[in-house]
Amino acid sequence: MPEVTIHIGGRDFVVSCQEGEQSFLEMAAGMLDDEAQVLSDQIGRMPEARMLLMAGLMLADKTAAVEDRIKEVEAVLAEKDAEIAQKVAELEELRNAPPPEPEQVEVPVVPPQVADALADLAARAEALAGEIEQKAAPDDDDEDTEEAELSDASAAESVTEGEETAQA
C-alpha cells in the first residue's frame, strides 16, 4: 500500500491508501486543508484534534447542503420527466386516433333555366345596343334600317320566349 503525505492546517500527516487512489486522497486532503485554513485564519492556533473535527464538520455541512440541492433538482427532474411522459402519451394517442371525418362542402348549382334567361337577356341587350347605334348613325340607306328592324323583332321574340321559360 502506498503511503501519501498530506498537509492539513499547516501540519503533515502520512496516510496509507489503495493503489491508484492517491489523487483522490490528495484532493480530499486539499478540501479538508482549505476548511482548516479558514478556521486557522478566524480562530488562530488550536489543538490538532479540534482543528480536524471542525474542518470535518464544515465539510459535512457543505456536503449536506449539496445533497439537499441534489434532491431538489432530482424532484424537479422527476416532474419534468412525468410531464414529458404525459406529452408523449398524448402524442401517441393523437397519432393512433382515426383521421377526422371529411367536411362536406355544398357548392351551389345554377339551374339551367337561369342560364337560359341570362343568355336571352344578353341577346336583348345586344339588340338594344344595335338599335341605339342605328338611331345614332345618319340614315344613308333605308334598306339597312329595314334589316335592323327585322333583326330587332326577332331578338325581341327570343327574349320573350326566354322570359316565359324562366318564369316556368
CA 148 to chain centre: 71
What is the mean pLDDT of the segment spanning 138-157? 56
Confidence check: pLDDT of 46 > 70? yes
∠ CA 9-10-11, rounded to 5°: 95
What tens digit of pLDDT does each residue of 101-120 get?
888 888 788 788 888 899 99
Residue 52 neighbours by CB distance under 10 Å: 19
Bridge partners of 11, per DSSP, are: 8
Q: Report the candidate in 10, 18, 21 with the shortest Cα–Cα distance to residue 44.
A: 10
Q: Which three cell numbers stand for residue 163?
A: 322570359
Quick check: pTM over 0.85?
no
- The pLDDT-based confidence of 135 (bands split at 50, 70, 90) is confident
Terminal alpha carbon distance of the chain: 117
What tens digit of pLDDT does each residue of 67-106 get?
999 999 999 999 999 999 999 999 999 999 998 888 888 8
Predicted pLDDT at 149: 58
